[in-house]
Amino acid sequence: MTRTLTLSITLLLGATLATAQPSPGGLTLDAAIAEALAASHRLAEIGARGDAAEATVALRAAANAPLVSAVAGYTRTNHVDEFGVPQPDGRLRIIYPDIPDNYRTRLDLQWPVYSGGRSNALERAAEAERTAVAADLETARADLRLEVARAYWAVVTAGESARVVDEALARAEAHLADIRARDAAGLVSPHEVAAVDAHRSRQRMLLIEARNLHLSAQAALARLLGRPVDQPLQLSEPLAHPRVQAPDLAIAADRPERAALLARLSAADSRVAAAEAGRKPTVSLGGGLDYASPNPRLFPRQDAWKTSWDVSVQASWLLWDGGRTRAESAQASALASAERARLAELDSLVQTEVRQRTLDLASSGAAVEAATDALASAEEARRVVANRFDAGVATSTDVLDAQLAQLQAELDRTRALANVRLAEARLARALGR
């Protein structure tokens, strides 16, 4: 029975992970979640990706805006023979002078006024991706809330289990003192004292294991909170039996994962439209103001600063691209189909998960009731056996068995209470709360 008890404590504290006896003014679960959200490196990473998505939206929007640039340059050319035309007065009019120093400045304007809808589609895709990253951030927050809740109740459960074992050790110490007094009076044999002493030693071993697991659970929670892992934690919420309420089993449409998939599906559809726009013509406006010496637009060339300007409209229609546009459109369509399939799969999984978590919560509540009744029975049995032992009609072995049975019942109830708390947290996560 001792091996079974040791295994129960290990499974309870190691697998469930949850606090020392709650103290007033300690850390609440909500405060722990808020602290973890502020300290999370994962959330900081996703937040940075959100900033990048925001910048991408601004970049796509800027693609529709005109581009204005200032250009300046200097070119040195070789000397050439000047060319001129004789005038009636006998002078030579220079038409192509030797001007080796060429200076140019230009204020240039380029404006893509029509892209077949490609620019607008890419902008919508960027906005959808920004929405998806925001939903990813909410998903990470929901996951972190569940992780903190698990770690929080792990510390609570570990502390409560350590308290239970500590009380069992106190009972073992009292029984050992009693059996030693009886041995001194010659009422019991020495082997009974040795058995009780060995039982007390096993209780001490269990207490050491329970306290170590409690410290380990505290370290796990401290890591999530961004605190030093060796810092003691004072938690304030008790491991009490909460009131179990069955939620609405309708699909959790507010889950952030679903919002992210919907946004990415919208982005995929927009990329399909952007790919299809490659088959349409594009139109752009251009223009500029030149101030150069010599100005190549003016004839004849003169070694003087002159101004000129130009305005243009350019239309372009890609007639054949070797199938690149068709392949790009097929790729975008396939990705959109994949997102639709993922969304349908998530909907089915969410319905199943909500149903399962609801049943888990109901069964956990029933387990608490059963464990409470079993504990009351074990306490009464130990009391009766103790009275019979005092009356001399029960052995010390009977008392030890009753104490072990009570300890097992107390640990079972602690585990049942922890399972209810964890079932609540998992159900809240499944519902997207």
CATH code at 213?
A: 1.20.1600.10
In a domain, 307, yes or no: no
Of 405, 136, 355, 416, the closest CA to residue 262 belongs to: 136
Residue 283 three-state SS: strand
**Backbone phi, psi, residue 122, to 5°:** -65, -35
Question: 237 with 149: CB under 8 angstroms?
Answer: no
pLDDT at 253: 56
| Residues 149, 157: Cα–Cα separation, whole Å | 12
pLDDT at 241: 59
Two structure tokens written together for 31? 């405060």
Domain tally for the chain? Answer: 1
In a domain, 91, yes or no: no
In a domain, 402, yes or no: yes
In a domain, 422, yes or no: yes
In a domain, 41, yes or no: yes
Taken as a whole, the chain contains a residue count of 433
Residue 143 DSSP symbol: H
Residue 107 DSSP symbol: E
Residues of the chain with pLDDT under 70: 1-25, 241-254
pLDDT at 245: 54
Looking up tokens 């909460």, which residue turns up?
A: 242
Crossing angle (nearest 10°) for helices 256-276 and 118-184: 160
* 91, 93, 295, 299, 325 from 85: Cα distances, Å: 9, 5, 20, 14, 56
Torsion (CA) 117, 119, 124, 128 in degrees, nearest 10: 140
CA 430 to centroid of chain Cα atoms:
15
In a domain, 96, yes or no: no
In a domain, 408, yes or no: yes
pLDDT at 127: 92
Question: 286 with 311: CB under 8 angstroms?
Answer: yes
pLDDT at 45: 93
Torsion (CA) 342, 345, 350, 355 in degrees, nearest 10: -170
For residue 354, the enclosing domain spans: 2-65+118-279+325-430
Crossing angle (nearest 10°) for helices 190-225 and 2-16: 10
CA 152 to centroid of chain Cα atoms:
18
| Residues 12, 161: Cα–Cα separation, whole Å | 8
Torsion (CA) 20, 221, 219, 416 in degrees, nearest 10: 50
Looking up tokens 């001490």, which residue turns up?
A: 204
In a domain, 298, yes or no: no
Two structure tokens written together for 50? 């959100």
| Residues 212, 412: Cα–Cα separation, whole Å | 19
